Chains A and B, each alone.
Chain A
Amino acid sequence: KAGVTQTPRYLIKTRGQQVTLSCSPISGHRSVSWYQQTPGQGLQFLFEYFSETQRNKGNFPGRFSGRQFSNSRSEMNVSTLELGDSALYLCASNSAYYEQYFGPGTRLTVT
Chain B
Amino acid sequence: GESVGLHLPTLSVQEGDNSIINCAYSNSASDYFIWYKQESGKGPQFIIDIRSNMDKRQGQRVTVLLNKTVKHLSLQIAATQPGDSAVYFCAENIGGNEKLTFGTGTRLTIIP
Contacts and interface: CB of A to CB of B under 8 A. Distances in A.
Interface stretch (A60-68, A78-86, A93-101): A93-101
A50 B36 CA distance: 23
B49 A48 contact: no
B46 A99 contact: yes
Contact of B93 (A35, A42, A98, A103): A98
A50 B93 CA distance: 17
Interface string A43-77: 11100101000011010000000000000000000
B100 A45 contact: yes
A84 B103 CA distance: 21
Contacts of B43: 4, 90, 102-105
Given A98-B96, A99-B34, A100-B34, A42 B44 contact: no
A4 B44 CA distance: 12
Interface in B77-107: 89, 91, 93, 96-105
A101 to B, nearest CB: 6
B42 interface: yes
B42 A104 contact: yes
Interface string A14-25: 000000000000
Contact of A48 (B89, B99, B104): B99
Interface string B45-67: 11001000000000000000000
Nearest to A47: B99
A56 B97 contact: yes
Nearest to A48: B98
A90 B42 contact: no
Contacts of B104: 42
A50 to B, nearest CB: 8
A41 to B, nearest CB: 9
